[in-house]
Structure 1
Amino acid sequence: MSARFTIDGSESLERHLAATCAHVRSGVERIIALGRLQGLALAGGYGRGEGGVLRENGSDMPYNDMEFFVFVRGSTLINDRLYKHALHQLGEALSHAAGLDVEFKILSLARLRRSPVSMFYYDLVMGHRWIIGGDELFTGCEHHRDSTRIPLHEATRLLFNRCSGLLFANERLAHEKLTAADADFIGRNLAKAQLALGDVVLTMSGRYHWSCLERHRRLQEHPDTDPELLSHHAAGVAFKLHPHRSTKTRDELITELSALSQLARNIFLQLESRRLAIKLSAPVDYIESKTNKCPEVPLWKNIFIHLRTRGMPSGITRYPREHLLHELVSMLWAGRQATASSIRQYAALWNRFN
């Protein structure tokens, strides 16, 4: 891993991020006894050395969240109950001082070793910065190092989340007055989608990589890459490394979102046709298909979720994300009007099953 948090951030920013990590370490060690604490790793962009640098008023400032994995011996469920609240309080206290969100996820090394391959765990194992511990802790996690093993449902999940961002951005564009905060929210979600579309195509071909710069190089070198997709991905990489607050007009944002949404639609249909082994020529085909859209989720888990939580919109044998996928396709591409009420309902469920 890079010794830096960013590619070209100022030394002042680098020192600020290093100091935040030091405060995180001391805070975690106060909460969790060393006999139970196995390790502490910074993941995300800053953990990979590709963190965002926001340049304003002549200064470099942090932009992304700082995502820390706290590896604790024993049951993750029990450890969540023991330490989650205290770690959340620590994160809130440090976030204010750091000028960015500090977040924690509790996990055990044993659970990571036995977990199936996912994009999330691949990124963690391949791109991280140790605050406590070292790479010897990832012994037994070799299956997470092979990006060709990332299943297609992981690409669907990434596209689902980024297209949900487009849906939320579209709702902001419907506001009577477009505020600076709205424009920034929309621009950020457009950039995330631009990056994700290329990442999804790479995952489909087994060429995904933890580094956004390497992913873009792989897109560039492939002769079949669509020039429009490549242009969007370049913009997404540029925003990830050097984010900025959007100053575009409503009309400019509408035009950009429309073009991006159309490209996302085409990639979504291509991906889901392949993943589910069904022919999808139009969004309505996806909505009307009775095929299980989340076959990777075991039946027992679906039934458990429905028994535990009343009012789930999908059938008892189906994972709730299937309902969200249908709603997304319907509102974003199939012509159904997305009202403020329907967006709120969607967002509430999306926050639980994204």
Structure 2
Amino acid sequence: MSADDLASHHFTVHHDREIDGQVRTDVEHIRDATLATHPGAVGLFLVGGFGRGEGGVVQRDGRWRPANDYDFELITRGPVDHGALRDLGVRLARECGVPMVHIEHSLAWKQRLRGPTEYTVDLRLGSLALHDPHDMRTRLWRCQAPRIPLTDAMQTLFTRTAALLWCFESPRDWRRAGMPARFDLAIQVSKALLAIEDARLIRVRRYHPLYAKRLQRFLTLGAGESLVSAMRWATEFKLRPDATSIPEDLEGLWFRARDWLLAEAFQHAGAMTGRRVESWRDFGQATRWRSLRGRDRWRLLRSRAVWERHRELALVNMLALAALQRDGSSDPKLSASARRICEDLGEAAGPGWNGLRLALLRLFERLW
């Protein structure tokens, strides 16, 4: 199979000819530019929401554009220049007038070795093949009830801690923010909520690549009414950002999402290790590579240094998030712990909670 039928693919849940046509123009341009610079590619896939037919779009400058970004997966037989690939994504985003174009890369020989992971499930069941002459998706792990490693979900929770830091300066600054800032904040809050959903579904082995299916399954897990309501909004906002209202008390939702995300990370760490995780010390110990069990531990054997770096970054992010109070002040003990780890990692934090936040974002850019 060379490629899926791009002409008949619906990129969003709207199934609107105008929206599909404008997104298709972007996708074809990105496909052609990527393959032109990587002529030996053995696979190029549109992944993420648009690959699944669940992309979110909004009107900008009289045109339908992604609310967030486009995501692609490039597969080659040999290594590529990742710096050049990032630069290509930046250039293509500018040419298409979209916030970002992410082009991730993987090697063809690794496809059969990945096993059942969130990556393989999403690529096999939730992607659009733009160039696939060797039918690379058949090389991915087949499984009816995917046993996605718990560490996959923890990595997603890790990244969402940085997303919550990125979008929020302080309650005082937030109250003066205009509509563009509200929309950006809503995107990051919805992503944090959906990461919680993913983690819970992966723990009970009921993950599905489609957001609508995930929500249906999440509703059977007995979550509290407030979290269920927030998850319904997050799913609807992800699928239809152009038609979904942003909560009036978005600041309050940020704090609730923060609390739910931190609690979920503690619970997930306990599930990974079989230990009770009730304190920051417990969390730090439980998420160390040597504390992981069975398949979760051995699949990270070669990349344990990367895992440890991500774990430490997530821990300091979580401490900073937990420190922020609704009145704009910060818990001195948690802030001091976060600053100490931040300095140990080579990044001095400026004054106040926002100074700490900015230092952590610099750390994330440098070390993640």
Name the residue aligned to 2:321: 332
- Alignment partner of 1:323 out of 286, 291, 312: 312
Name the residue aligned to 1:312: none
Give how far 1:60 is off.
4.1
User: Is the contact between residue 320 and residue 357 of structure 2 (CA under 8 Å) also seen in structure 1?
Assistant: no
Q: 1:46 and 2:44 equivalent? A: no
User: Is the contact between residue 183 and residue 248 of structure 1 (CA under 8 Å) also seen in structure 2?
Assistant: no
- Cα pair distance change 1:88/1:265, threshold 3 Å: closer
Name the residue aligned to 1:343: 357
What is the CA RMSD across the aligned residues, in angstroms?
3.1
Give how far 1:201 is off.
1.0
Give the total of aligned pairs.
Answer: 328
Name the residue aligned to 2:72: 68
Give how far 1:177 is off.
6.7
Counterpart AA for 1:201: R
Q: 1:28 and 2:25 equivalent? A: no
Q: List aligned pairs for 1:239-318, cutoff 5 A.
A: 239-243=237-241, 252-283=249-280, 285-287=282-284, 289=285, 292=288, 295=292, 296=297, 301=303
CA deviation string 1:257-288 (max 9, x = no partner): 2222222232222111121222122445435x
Q: 1:192 and 2:191 equivalent? A: yes
Q: List aligned pairs for 1:116-131, cutoff 5 A.
A: 116-131=115-130
Counterpart AA for 2:316: E
Name the residue aligned to 1:308: none
- Alignment partner of 1:7 out of 9, 13, 18: 13
User: Is the contact between residue 161 and residue 318 of structure 2 (CA under 8 Å) also seen in structure 1?
Assistant: no
Q: List aligned pairs for 1:156-175, cutoff 5 A.
A: 156-175=154-173
TM-score (norm 1): 0.80
Q: List aligned pairs for 1:218-257, cutoff 5 A.
A: 218-220=217-219, 222=220, 224-243=222-241, 252-257=249-254
Counterpart AA for 1:158: T
CA deviation string 1:73-98 (max 9, x = no partner): 2x23xx236xx51x445433432332
- Cα pair distance change 1:176/1:42, threshold 3 Å: closer
Tell me whether 127-136 or 54-63 shows the greater mean CA deviation: 54-63
Counterpart AA for 2:92: L
- Cα pair distance change 1:131/1:202, threshold 3 Å: same
User: Is the contact between residue 123 and residue 137 of structure 2 (CA under 8 Å) also seen in structure 1?
Assistant: no
User: Is the contact between residue 207 and residue 218 of structure 1 (CA under 8 Å) also seen in structure 2?
Assistant: yes
Name the residue aligned to 2:25: 19
- Cα pair distance change 1:174/1:200, threshold 3 Å: farther
For 1:6 and 1:176, locate their aligned partners in 2 and report how far apart those are by CA, in whole Å: 31
User: Runs of 5+ in structure 2 lacking a partner?
Assistant: 324-330, 336-351
Q: Sequence identity of aligned pairs in percent?
A: 23
- Cα pair distance change 1:280/1:137, threshold 3 Å: closer
User: Is the contact between residue 269 and residue 287 of structure 2 (CA under 8 Å) also seen in structure 1?
Assistant: no
- Cα pair distance change 1:172/1:147, threshold 3 Å: farther
For 1:195 and 1:267, locate their aligned partners in 2 and report how far apart those are by CA, in whole Å: 12
Counterpart AA for 2:127: H
SS of residue paired to 2:42? strand
Q: 1:114 and 2:118 equivalent? A: no
Counterpart AA for 2:310: R
For 1:254 and 1:39, locate their aligned partners in 2 and report how far apart those are by CA, in whole Å: 42
Give how far 1:211 is off.
0.3
SS of residue paired to 1:37? coil
User: Is the contact between residue 187 and residue 246 of structure 1 (CA under 8 Å) also seen in structure 2?
Assistant: no
For 1:265 and 1:173, locate their aligned partners in 2 and report how far apart those are by CA, in whole Å: 19
User: Is the contact between residue 22 and residue 64 of structure 2 (CA under 8 Å) also seen in structure 1?
Assistant: no
CA deviation string 1:47-96 (max 9, x = no partner): 111100225798643323222222222x23xx236xx51x4454334323
